[in-house]
Amino acid sequence: MLALAVSAFAFNTTENLPIGVLPLMAADLGVPLSAVGLLVTGYGLTVAVVSLPLAHATRDVQRRLSLTVLLAVFVVATLLTALTSNYWLLLGARVATAMAQALFWAVMTPAAVAMFPPGVRGRVVAVLSVGGGLAMVAGVPAGTWLGQQGGWRSPFLVLSVLGVLTLVAVAGLLPRGAGGRAAVADGTTPDRRRYVVVLLTTVVSVMGMFTAYTYVVAFLTEIGGLSAEEISLALLAFGVAGIAGVVVVGAVLDRAPRLAMAVPVGLQAAALLGLNLLGATPAAIPVMALLGFAAAPVFTATQTRVMQVAPGRAEMALAANSALFNVGLAGGALLGGLVLSWLGLSATFLVGAALSAVAFAVACAESRVAVARDGTSVVP
């Protein structure tokens, strides 16, 4: 499980690392900053588009074999990223890594939870999510520093070595039975309507988050008047609180899965509204911490809930949730840009709060959408 968590860290760091070394890559490759930015946006769009088709195409492949192949693709593509000087070859390597990540998230979670009793699945998903969350808190900053010291290629070389280590660990340690295709094949308490509610909660809450968060640095600078050092502190508070949020929510996921999904979304709405109202005050940094605490566990909570209410194969259900997460991310960034152009910077947080409030209402409605014919609840 720890090897899988480290793999999640490696994938997420690789996805977002170009953000930290953007100018270095652009100068070395002789391309504009927008072209390097495409290495990040194209990555996310690839994950959104191919998650479901890849999960469907590989649904009968043994999970240990799938994870071994995906990590091998990660190692080769990341090594190629570090070695090539051709932009288009680099873009191709990024697309290959994104395709591997799209399937990785769909296969990794059921393979991991199959090694443990059903009663602790939420905590298992939380551990995996901490690995992914540490990418933004530690992985990207460390990679950025390393890139500044030794060139932008050096952190990708380190990540390729980390990929080799996790590849060996997963291939050698993942139990064949636990990673088999029969384990955790379906939701424990399948319900199609509740599953749709979870997917809607994911896409709307993430869209609300990234309508605002995409422009958070500009907001804290222009509206909040924060210095570069204070903005770094705010982003650090956001990241550390996010890890804390995943740990706290992970501790209650198995006992109260619906509550663990709805409460963070509600807190996210409150935090985004708080930044809209208090962004120009000293409260901005504590509210940023609240936003991190609330937003980070949403994917963890929805992934856990998907494994409970999925009406079919877990891989397909998890892939759909992951794809919609990326749709919400891209859609939120696009919507935020439109709001910024029409209504101004502060309005992005107001619209983000409104969308998050809608997602909270949807999450709260889950208990009402599916009842048995005698009127009793079907799913806990």
Residue 98, in any domain of the structure: yes
Give residue-wise pLDDT tens across range 313-333: 777 888 889 889 888 988 888
Residue 182, in any domain of the structure: no
| Range ranked top by mean pLDDT from 91-100, 107-116, 300-309, 360-369 | 91-100
Same domain? 146 vs 32 = yes
Give the residue from 2, 1, 11 showing the smallest Cα distance to 163: 11
Same domain? 267 vs 342 = yes
Identify the residue whose tokens are 């064949």. 176
Same domain? 105 vs 198 = no
Same domain? 112 vs 203 = no
- Selected residue with higher pLDDT from 108 and 20: 108
On whether the CB atoms of residues 303 and 257 are closer than 8 A, the answer is no
Q: Mean pLDDT lowest for which of 38-42, 222-226, 284-288?
A: 38-42
CA–CA distances in Å: residue 180 to residues 64, 74, 114, 177, 301: 7, 22, 9, 5, 24
Same domain? 23 vs 153 = yes
What mean pLDDT, rounded, does the chain reach? 86
Q: Which residues of 238-254 are buried (b: 16+ CB within 10 A; e: fewer)?
A: bbebbbbbbbebbebbb
Same domain? 47 vs 97 = yes
Residue 49, in any domain of the structure: yes
Residue 183, in any domain of the structure: no
Residue 142, in any domain of the structure: yes
Within a 13 Å sphere around the CA of 348, how many CA atoms are in the beta-carbon half? 27
Residue 221, in any domain of the structure: yes
Tell me how many degrees the CA angle 216-217-219 measures, rounded to the nearest 5. Answer: 60
- 275, 278, 279, 285 alpha-carbon torsion, rounded to 10°: -80
Give the residue from 66, 70, 71, 90 showing the smallest Cα distance to 80: 90
- Selected residue with higher pLDDT from 78 and 312: 78
Give residue-wise pLDDT tens across range 96-138: 999 999 899 888 888 888 888 877 777 888 788 778 778 877 7
Residue 153, in any domain of the structure: yes
Same domain? 99 vs 231 = no
Give the residue from 207, 206, 215, 205 showing the smallest Cα distance to 347: 215
Same domain? 339 vs 211 = yes
pLDDT band at 92 (very low <50, low <70, confident <90, very high): very high
Residue 217's H or E segment, with its range, is helix 216-222
The three-class DSSP label of residue 214 is: coil
CA–CA distances in Å: residue 157 to residues 4, 80, 137, 256, 285: 20, 9, 20, 42, 35
Which residues does residue 377 pair with via DSSP β-bridges, in sequence order? 371
Same domain? 22 vs 160 = yes
Residue 378, in any domain of the structure: no
Identify the residue whose tokens are 């955790």. 184
Flag whether pLDDT at 178 surpasses 70: no
Query: Quick one: pLDDT at residue 375?
Result: 44
How many Cβ atoms from other residues are within 10 Å of residue 282's Cβ?
Answer: 10
Query: Quick one: pLDDT at residue 186?
Result: 60
Structure tokens given for 10: 């490696």
Q: How far apart are the first and last CA of the chain?
A: 27
d(CA 206, CA 329): 6
Structure tokens given for 377: 């609840």
Identify the residue whose tokens are 């508070």. 237
Of the residues 109, 139, 173, the one at which a domain ends: 173
Please give the residue range of the domain that contains residue 51: 2-173
Flag whether pLDDT at 22 surpasses 80: no
Q: How many residues does the chain have?
A: 380
Same domain? 132 vs 12 = yes
Give the domain CATH number at 150.
Answer: 1.20.1250.20
How many Cβ atoms from other residues are within 10 Å of residue 97's Cβ?
Answer: 28
On whether the CB atoms of residues 141 and 9 are closer than 8 A, the answer is no
What is the tally of structural domains in the chain? 2
Same domain? 215 vs 165 = no
- Selected residue with higher pLDDT from 298 and 139: 298
Same domain? 151 vs 31 = yes
Give residue-wise pLDDT tens across range 141-173: 788 888 888 999 999 999 999 999 999 999 998
Residue 188's H or E segment, with its range, is none
